[in-house]
Amino acid sequence: MAANPQNAKPATVAVAPALRPGREAAAEALAQLDFGEAPQVGLLGDTGTGKTTAARELIKLYLEKSPGSVFIVDDKDATTRFQGQYRADVAELREKPIDWKEGRVVVFRGRLLKGERVNLEEVAELAWARAQRSRKTLLVLDELIAGRRDLTVNQQWRKGVVWVPQGFTAGRTAGVANLWGAQLPQLVPLEPFEESSAIITFRMAGAGLAKLRERDYLQGGAGEVIPKLHGPPDAPSSRGDFVLLQRGRPWNGKVYKFEV
């Protein structure tokens, strides 16, 4: 007998969740500030998906919620991604202290013409020196792994690297917050994953997604959504959508985007 079209069930159509304001996710990621604690937050995703925009918004909210200063390491190339008072490195900052009337953000740019990148250990050590004087700091490590052969090897911190990992393991109560980014999370050492209060994740697939699953960040279906988020070659206007992940907790089912 032929099926009655009137009784046939309609085909299931997958509906993408409505985008939520990115500031909601930022507030949740930085919620520990409300308790006087320093948050550790990751930004993961392919290049061109929106990590830098998210970092700017998180920095803005941190400055609203905390009296702390912000130290940004932005030395990948000649493009300036962040606003602040620019110094090549910690040595130049000591020679030329910043004008606090001009703001609380220092952007370390390295010496690109000489091929010299910023020493992350020196910046992190400075943050810990400030912590000894009860001064809070947000370290923004725009790219924790790429080109940092002096920092990690085979997903391990190199011998003698102390201050950067200590920020993740002990920074919460000391006032040393970290906002770290990576395009290749499969190369990131254990501590950032274990200690981050939240990881904002843009489009990503393959080994990076597998590492998030291994570190217990993909409960609740996020692993199926993340590869479907937007990035190149999608139109720039569609990029920037992301999910907020917390270790050991189910994904909240929300997809966010910052208005730019």
Cβ within 8 Å of residue 211, ≥6 positions away: 185, 186, 188, 193
Domain extent listing, the chain: 19-257
Q: How distant, in Å, are the alpha carbons of 55, 107, 110 from that of 103?
A: 17, 11, 20
The CATH-assigned architecture of domain 19-257 is 3-Layer(aba) Sandwich (3.40)
The mean pLDDT value for 173-186 works out to 94
Confidence tier at 80 by pLDDT (50, 70, 90): confident
Beta bridge partners of 182: 44
- Dihedral (Cα; 244, 249, 167, 210), 10-degree rounding: -70
At 143, the amino acid letter reads E
Confidence tier at 158 by pLDDT (50, 70, 90): very high
Q: Assess whether pLDDT exceeds 60 at residue 1.
A: no
Q: Assess whether pLDDT exceeds 60 at residue 218.
A: yes
Confidence tier at 149 by pLDDT (50, 70, 90): confident
Whether pTM exceeds 0.95: no
pLDDT of residue 9: 47
